[in-house]
Amino acid sequence: MAKHGSLSINSENIFPIIKKWLYSDHDIFYRELISNGCDAITKLKKLAMMGEYELPAGYKGRIDVVVNSTDKTLTFIDNGLGMTGGEVEEYINQIAFSGATDFISKYKDKANEDQIIGHFGLGFYSAFMVAKEVHIDTLSYKPGAKAVHWECDGGTEYSMEECEKPEVGTKITLFLNDDVLEFCNKYKAREVIKKYCSFMPTEIYLSEAPDKGTETIKASEKLDSDVVIEEIKADKEGEEAKLKIEKRPELLNETNPLWTKHPNECTDEDYKKFYREVFNDYKEPLFWIHLNMDYPFNLKGILYFPKINMEYESIEGTIKLYNNQVFIADNIKEVIPEFLMLLKGVIDCPDLPLNVSRSALQNDGFVTKISEYITKKVADKLSGMCKTDKENYEKYWEDISPFIKYGCLKDDKFCEKMTDYILFKNLDGKYMTLPECLEVKPIDVEENATDENGEKVEAEVVDEASTEGEGSEEKKDKTIYYVTDEQQQSQYINMFKQAKMDAVVLKHNIDQPFISQLEAKNPGIKFSRIDADITDTLKSKTSKK
The torsion angle over the Cα atoms of residues 329, 69, 63 and 270, rounded to 10 degrees, is -50
Q: Which residues contact 287 (CB under 8 A, 6 or more apart)?
A: 304, 305, 381, 385, 392, 396
Q: Give the residue range(s) of CATH 3.40.50 domains in the chain.
A: 422-543
Predicted pLDDT at 476:
46
For residues 271 and 240, the answer to whether their CB atoms sit within 8 Å is: no
Q: Which amino acid is at 518?
A: L
User: Rounded to an integer, what distance in angstroms lies between the CA atom of residue 33 and that of residue 18?
Assistant: 15
User: Rounded to an integer, what distance in angstroms lies between the CA atom of residue 338 and that of residue 375?
Assistant: 10
Backbone dihedral region for residue 411 (phi beyond 0: left; psi -120 to 50: alpha; all else: beta): beta
For residues 426 and 442, the answer to whether their CB atoms sit within 8 Å is: yes
Predicted pLDDT at 362:
60
Q: What is the CA radius of gyration of the chain?
A: 32
* 203-208 and 62-68 beta bridge pairing: parallel
Q: Which residues contact 482 (CB under 8 A, 6 or more apart)?
A: 503, 504, 505, 506, 511, 515, 527, 528, 529, 530
User: Which helix (H) or strand (E) covers residue 238, if one does?
Assistant: none
Count of alpha carbons within 13 angstroms of residue 160, beta-carbon side: 21
Predicted pLDDT at 350:
85
CA distances from 480 to 205, 409, 429 (A): 62, 20, 16
As assigned by CATH, the class of the 3-210 domain is alpha beta
For residues 286 and 399, the answer to whether their CB atoms sit within 8 Å is: yes
User: Rounded to an integer, what distance in angstroms lies between the CA atom of residue 194 and that of residue 191?
Assistant: 5
Q: Give the residue range(s) of CATH 3.30.565.10 domains in the chain.
A: 3-210
Q: Give the residue range(s) of CATH 3.30.230.80 domains in the chain.
A: 258-415
pLDDT in tens, the chain (545 residues): 678 777 654 555 666 666 665 545 778 899 989 999 998 999 999 999 999 999 999 899 999 999 999 999 999 999 999 999 999 988 887 766 665 566 556 555 544 444 444 444 567 888 888 999 999 999 999 999 999 999 998 777 889 999 999 999 999 999 999 999 999 999 999 999 999 999 999 999 999 988 878 889 888 888 888 888 888 888 777 788 888 998 889 999 999 999 999 999 999 999 999 999 999 888 899 999 999 988 788 899 999 998 865 554 455 678 998 988 988 888 777 778 888 888 899 999 888 766 555 556 666 677 888 888 999 999 999 999 999 999 999 999 998 998 899 999 999 999 999 999 999 999 999 999 998 888 744 444 454 444 444 454 444 444 444 444 444 344 345 889 999 988 888 888 888 888 888 899 998 889 999 999 999 998 888 999 988 766 555 555 555 54
CATH topology of domain 422-543: Rossmann fold (3.40.50)
3-class state of residue 423 by DSSP: strand
Domain 258-415 CATH assignment equals 3.30.230.80: yes
User: Rounded to an integer, what distance in angstroms lies between the CA atom of residue 287 and that of residue 264?
Assistant: 16
pTM above 0.85, yes or no: no
